[in-house]
Amino acid sequence: MELPPLDGSPSPVNPLLVIEIPWGPNIGHVFGLLLTWHGLFTAVGILIGVQVALRLSRVMGFDEDDMYTIALVAVPSGIVGARALFVIEHWGRFSQEPGRIIQITEGGISVWGALIFGFAGAVAFALWRRYDVRVGLDAASMGLILGLGIGRLGDLVNGEHLAKTTDLPWAVVYTAAESPAFAHSVAFGPHHPATTYEMFALFAIFGLLIPVFYRWLYRYPGVTFTVAAAGYAVTRFLLTYIRLDSPDVALGLRVPQIVALLTLVVAGSLAWYWVRQGPVEREAPLPPGRIPIGETESS
């Protein structure tokens, strides 16, 4: 694929250094449903994220069956919210074809919608069942961060989220004509793999959060969740500046950035309140690797 100039002048990008994505967004049909790369990696991320949450709930003294039940509420709530917020943000695309609203397997979800609705559904259910909400949030948050990062692999292949052009050597172009990013690549050339930046940031947050939790944060139930939420909010706020899939709505900010700022306020307030309550005297959880998945401390 010949790369066009970015500004009318000869392109400064060496085509040999540009990463070409040759796949289309669709894998094929399974039982009449369209399977996409985005949907596949989202499902893989959910499965792995739930397993991580289950394992952490075990070492934190939170009943594993209760965590699994919460996941059965949070996951469908998040899926509904992810699609709902995406449809609201892109109503012009769906207003003429409302039947496409339920065609979620074809792509088109909002991570913020998934987080907000999934969080609301899980917390409401946990309060109703009188679970230890703060400990449950801590376990779920680390699984969620890892699962989100894995899901972003699908965005890299799918090409659904467009970003600004760049002459960096890791710029991407999409060469499959059916890719949502193909026309963008032809018209503007190589662009940032913005969701891949987010993926690396999420993996970094997860990698840093685990040792900090086992060393200190376990004594402050709920704070691990707020740190994870704040980390994602900062990541999404900054990366929205190079993404092109959300219009400005107020003060030069876009919907994901406004939600990120609100998340920072809520997470910061909760963290301050829970830390002010002082540490909880509890036995330190076993470090990672001490309890294999599928076993318990007594086995």
Q: DSSP secondary structure string, 238-291? A: HHGGGB-SS-EEETTEEHHHHHHHHHHHHHHHHHHHHHHT-----PPPPPTTSS
- The band of 93, judged by pLDDT with boundaries at 50, 70 and 90, is low
Look at the block and give the residue holding tokens 């469908």: 76
What is residue 1's predicted lDDT score, i.e. its pLDDT? 47
Q: Does the structure show a pLDDT above 80 at 208?
A: yes
Structure tokens at 161: 């989220």
Q: How far is CA 33 from CA 103, 104, 255, in A?
A: 9, 10, 31
SS3 label, residue 250: strand
Q: Does the structure show a pLDDT above 80 at 264?
A: yes
- d(C-alpha 117, C-alpha 74), whole Å: 8
What is residue 103's predicted lDDT score, i.e. its pLDDT? 60
Chain segment 163-180, per-residue pLDDT in tens: 999 988 889 999 988 888
Amino acid identity for residue 16 in this structure: L
Question: Nearest 10 degrees: CA dihedral of 41, 43, 49, 53?
Answer: 180
Give 219's contacts (C-beta < 8 A, 6+ positions apart): 279, 280, 281, 282
- Return the sign of the alpha-carbon dihedral for residues 125, 207, 54, 105: positive
Task: Give the residue-averaged pLDDT of 146-152.
Answer: 92
Q: Which helix (H) or strand (E) holds 32?
A: none
Q: Which domain holds residue 163?
A: 27-276
What is residue 90's predicted lDDT score, i.e. its pLDDT? 63
Instruction: Report how many domains make up the chain.
Output: 1
Task: Give the residue-averaged pLDDT of 77-104.
Answer: 70
Q: Does residue 21 fall inside a structural domain?
A: no
Q: Which helix (H) or strand (E) holds 216?
A: none
Q: Does residue 16 fall inside a structural domain?
A: no
Q: Does residue 6 fall inside a structural domain?
A: no
